[in-house]
Structure formats: C-alpha cells, structure tokens
Amino acid sequence: MVLCALRQQVLRCSSHCRTWARLPQRQRSGCVYSSIHGFNQDEIKEKLQAFHGGSIDLLKQDSGIAVLTINNPSRMNAFSGSMMVDLEERVSQLENWPEGKGLIVQGAAETFCSGSDLNAVRAISNQQDGMKMCMFMQNSLTRLLRLPLISVALVEGRALGGGAELTTACDFRLMAAGSVIQFVHKHMGLVPGWGGAARLVHLVGSQNALKLLGGAVKVDPELGVNIGLVDGVLEGHQKAGGAAPLLQQAENWLSRYTKGPAPVIQAVKKVVLSGRELPLSEALRTEKDIFGTVWGAPANLEALASKSKHK
C-alpha cells in the first residue's frame, strides 16, 4: 500500500495536476505518517504555532528555480514551531508549481540552520509531543525530498542538528568554504528524528553515517566531498571580493541540470526518485508511466523536428 502511494506520488506531474489538486492534501502528499499511524496533523500544527519566531520564505522565480530561505537570524536560523508549520505550507506550494524545475534551500544572514529551536524543544520535551513533532517534520522533509524539482542545499556557516538533517532532504549539497555540517544530536542526548539518519545512510553508506553520528563529526567541505555528502564547494565568502554571491554561484551550478522544459526536468527527477525509493519492478513500471508523459509531448516533438545532433 505504501509503495502504491509512493508510486502515485512519483507519477504526479503537470498533466495530472488538475486531477491531483482535487484529492485531499494528505492523500496526495506522499507523507510517511497519516491518521492510520495515530498522527493528527492539525493538532500538532496548532501546538507548534504557539512557539513563534522567524519564518520560512519562498521565492518562486521565472527561471523555474525557487529559493527557500530559513529565516530566524537572531537564533542562528533555528526552527521555531511556527517555522515548522511554515515549512509544511511552503512544501505544499512547491508541490503545486507546474513551472518549477529547481529549488535552492538556504539560510538567512550567512548561516544555514542551527536545528530545532531549543526554547521550543524545552517546552515540548515530553515524549508524546516530541513524537508528534518528529512525525510532522519527517512528513515535511520527505515531501521536500520527493518534490518533482531538483533541489540543492546551499550551506553557508553552520548546519547543526536538525539543520544538518535538512541538508539531507535535498538532492544535492553545496558548501561554502569555511562552513560546517554537524550532526550534533549525540551531544544533545539525541539521535536524528527528522529522517536525517535514514537519508544519511543512503548518501554516505552506513560506515560513514555511523562515524558522523557516533562522533558528532564536524564535516568541512573537503571531508564532505570525500565521503560523498557534498557535491560542490563554492568559492569564498559572500562578502569576498571577486567571487559571485553564493546564491548566484548555487543557481549557476544548478542551472546545468534545470536547463530545458519543466515537464522534462520534472520527469527526470521522478524517474530518479522512483529508482531511489522503489523496488526494481515497481520502479520500472513507474518509469514506463513517466516515460508516457514525455513521449510525443511538445518538447519531444520539437526535438525530433529540429533533427538535433548530440555532438
């Protein structure tokens, strides 16, 4: 049943958008948890909203690349409760963006994110509320990773705890020189709970994941590249003379993968997503269905008519 739901999620594309939009939000979201797991989204949303501060800002650009900014600079961009709710809403907006091709996730004011807001953590430190927050964030970050957009985390400064987990909910990670990704959970008497451990194992293998989590290792750009966590290192600091601003560098880096019509880029992400998440026979059937959405579609016909050569 879960696989079926995921297959439906992967299949979601512009040609299905109208039908899809008619379905209730939770059915179409590809969430990990729903009411059958005792999860009540509205209840936890109400609780989280009480811990306010900061925002998650979304800028959708004509280029088809959106920028999602974690914005709570006075707390090093820590996630307040209301920011967790904001994130879920921004992900919904991105799920319904037919022109979208790429996404950059960044932090405001030259740092990425210092995890969950420790003030909110203290206030909801009972087990029940902790579980609900964990399920809520796992749902949002799973939906973020499953967006039909090619996503990249632009890490400047520190990505700590939940901030490190957030980087793993993107397809790629770029680090600015001098920045650090650190799963500090062990120092907080915790393990990742926003899905970061499961995704980390997929990205770097279980040996490296064990080292990073067990040692709360500070991952600098060089180590990140060596273990396959990081896909590129950006030149200098945003203020450094000469180098383009980091966001511009990240957009340039991403644009090589987002060049072309949105339905094709979205289809690329979906076939990779199905290969990554589904058993082979299920992934093959999904790939066939996604292929059916681009075969004979305008971009395909245009390419055939232009007799393009791939030299």
Ligand X SMILES: CCCC(=O)SCCNC(=O)CCNC(=O)[C@H](O)C(C)(C)COP(=O)(O)OP(=O)(O)OC[C@H]1O[C@@H](n2cnc3c(N)ncnc32)[C@H](O)[C@@H]1OP(=O)(O)O
Stretch that binds ligand X, among 12-20, 81-89, 148-156, 186-194 (CB under 6 A): 186-194
Using CB under 6 A as the binding rule, whether residue 52 contacts ligand X is answered as: no
Upper half-sphere CA count for residue 118 (Cβ side, 13 Å): 9
Q: Which is nearer to ligand X, 124 or 278 (CB)?
A: 124
Interacting residue with ligand X among 10, 68, 76, 94 (CB under 6 A): 76
Stretch that binds ligand X, among 2-10, 53-61, 159-167, 203-211 (CB under 6 A): 159-167
Instruction: Determine how β-strand 55-60 pairs with β-strand 65-71.
Output: antiparallel
Interacting residue with ligand X among 31, 56, 78, 262 (CB under 6 A): 78
Stretch that binds ligand X, among 7-15, 141-149, 155-163, 219-227 (CB under 6 A): 155-163
In this structure, are residues 140 and 91 in contact, taking their beta carbons and an 8 Å threshold?
yes
State the residue number with the nearest CB to ligand X: 115
Using CB under 6 A as the binding rule, whether residue 286 contacts ligand X is answered as: no
Using CB under 6 A as the binding rule, whether residue 261 contacts ligand X is answered as: no
Q: Taking CB under 6 A as the criterion, which residues in 101-120 touch ligand X?
A: 114-119
# of chain residues touching ligand X (CB under 6 A): 19
Long-range contact pairs involving 118-123 (C-beta distance under 8 Å, separation at least 24): 118/78, 119/51, 119/80, 120/48, 120/51, 120/79, 120/80, 120/81, 123/51
Q: Which is nearer to ligand X, 141 or 227 (CB)?
A: 141
Q: How far is the CB of 274 from ligand X (least distance, A)?
A: 28
Q: How far is the CB of 158 from ligand X (least distance, A)?
A: 6
Stretch that binds ligand X, among 8-16, 59-67, 143-151, 180-188 (CB under 6 A): 180-188
Q: How far is the CB of 261 from ligand X (least distance, A)?
A: 38
Give the tokens for residue 176: 């600015």
Interacting residue with ligand X among 168, 194, 199, 208 (CB under 6 A): 194
Distances (CA, A) of 63 to 59, 262, 272, 304: 11, 10, 22, 25
Angle formed at CA 113 by CA 191 and CA 262, multiple of 5 degrees? 105
Q: Which is nearer to ligand X, 102 or 196 (CB)?
A: 196
Binding mask 160-179 for ligand X (x = CB under 6 A): xxx-----------------
Using CB under 6 A as the binding rule, whether residue 262 contacts ligand X is answered as: no
Q: How far is the CB of 157 from ligand X (least distance, A)?
A: 9
Using CB under 6 A as the binding rule, whether residue 61 contacts ligand X is answered as: no
Interacting residues toward ligand X by CB under 6 A: 75-76, 78, 114-119, 158, 160-162, 184-185, 188, 190, 193-194
